[in-house]
Amino acid sequence: MTSMEIWKIFEPDNYYKSFLEQNKRPDGRGLVDTRPITIKVGTVNTAEGSATVRIGHTAVMCGVKAELAKPALRKPNEGFIVPNVELYPCCSPKFKAGPPGEKAMEASQFIKNVIISSKMLNLEELCIKSNKLAWCLYCDVVCLNYDGNLLDAALVSFMAALQNVKLPEVTYDEETERIHVGLDRSIPVILKAKPVSTTFTLWSEEIQLIDPTAEDEDQGSGEVTVVLLEDGKMCTINKSGGQLITHETLDLFVRHGKEQIKKINDCIERALIEQMDAS
């Protein structure tokens, strides 16, 4: 064991602090540098749409499964979209088996909020026959390896998987009430907005770290997630508790977030084209 590793075990706080004093993080990044991101779509054959995303060591997979269902009584012209994030013990010893924990639920709710507030989907387009038949998209996000920044990774994989979805053609015969499902999957889901999220960990009043690793998250006090649309409009801000921040810091986060929009969306675009070429 090197002396560095021993130091880390005995004085984790000082070890970490000594890096920040040099404006660096233990993994060699500066405070405003993000980790490399790789996206691959169509990784699950059985799902209607899927994507695997890696941000540094964080790996997340999203599969979209489409099922036919009867629309809700109160909204007879709308289909459903059900996002769900799962954190199994295999991705990090932090998580336990059993019903979803606080972090997983928070992430599920986060994606749900983004869907609603960005208005990316017109649920009426998912309806096949009013009051009779509609698509229900189950979007399951599974974390394969947890190394911080779950929300960003989950949203990128969710967006990529959704753009990868191809639904079969369905016809509904009103007289016989028979459903006919076409053989080839060809119809994409039309997205009206492509939100991108950026997460920061707050360490002190002056120091904030973009794209935190699990270590950054443990050392810091609270995260802020900013979700922006392509045109730079704000879609969701999520800061629950943690270090107090000023008005100016919040502004700074939005500016950093804007830089990410094009980068991430281009990345998804490239992955989609790559997959199309391959098939």
Partner 1 sequence: MRETPLSTCERAAVLAAISRGVRLDNRGFLEVRDINLSFGKEYGSCTVTLGETRVLAQVTCEVVEPRPSRPNEGKLSISVRLSPMAAPHFESGRGNELMDELQMILDRNIKESRCLDLEALCIMAEESVWQLRVDVTVLNHAGNLGDACNLAAVAALRHFHRPDVSVEEDGRVTIHTFEESEPIATYMKKVPVCLTYAFFIIDENIHMLMDPSEKEERVMSGKLVVGLNPHGEITSLIFPGRVLLSKKDIMNCIKSAFKKAKFSAEMIQNLVDEDIVKRKSSVKVDGFAKNLISDTVYASHMVKKTIDKGQNFKFQVPRESDEENGSLNDEMDEDINDEESGDDNSDAKPNKSDILWRIQSIRQASTKDDDATHSMETDGESEEEEKKPKLTAQDLI
Partner 2 sequence: MSQHLCEIGYLSRSDGSSLYCIGGTVVLASVNGPGDVKASNRHYNRTQLDVCYSPSTGQSMIGERALESVISKTIEQAIIVHLHPRTAINVTLQEMQSDGLALSTSINAACLALLDAGVQMKSTFSAVTCCIASSGAIILEPTEAEIKESSAVVTFVFDGLEYNVLSAYQDGSLDSDTFNLCLIKCQLAAKDITAIFRKTIEDKHKFDKS
For partner 1, the binding residues (CB under 8 A) are 73-74, 76, 131
Residue 74 binds which of partner 1, partner 2, none (CB < 5-8 A, kind-dependent): partner 1
d(CA 41, CA 273) in angstroms, rounded, equals 9
Provide, rounded to whole angstroms, the least separation between the CB of residue 79 and partner 1: 17
The residue (of 74 and 247) whose beta carbon lies closer to partner 1 is: 74
- Least spacing, CB of residue 108 vs partner 2, in Å: 6
Instruction: Catalog residues that contact partner 2 under the rule CB under 8 A.
Output: 102, 105-106, 108-110, 112-113, 116-119, 193, 221-222, 224, 229, 232-247, 250-251, 254
- Measure the CA angle with vertex 110, ends 274 and 115; round to 5°: 60
Beta bridge partners of 37: 55
Task: Report the SS3 class of residue 55.
Answer: strand
Provide the minimum distance between the beta carbon of 105 and partner 1 in the complex, in angstroms, as a whole number: 14
Helix (H) / strand (E) containing 34 = none
Instruction: Report CA dihedral (116, 166, 91, 149) to the nearest 10 degrees.
Output: -40
**What are the DSSP E strand ranges found in 131-190?**
133-145, 166-173, 178-188
Task: Provide, rounded to whole angstroms, the least separation between the CB of residue 41 and partner 2.
Answer: 26
Number of CB atoms found within 10 A of residue 184's CB: 8
Task: Pick one of partner 2, partner 1, none as the site partner of residue 68 (Cβ within 5 to 8 A by kind).
Answer: none
Q: In the complex with partner 2, which residue's Cβ is closer, 166 or 194?
A: 194
Q: How many CA atoms lie within 13 A of 103 on its CB side?
A: 19
- Residue number with CB closer to partner 1 (174 or 277): 174
Query: Smallest distance from the beta carbon of 128 to partner 1, in angstroms?
Result: 16
| Complex with partner 1: residue 75 or 103, whichever CB lies closer | 75
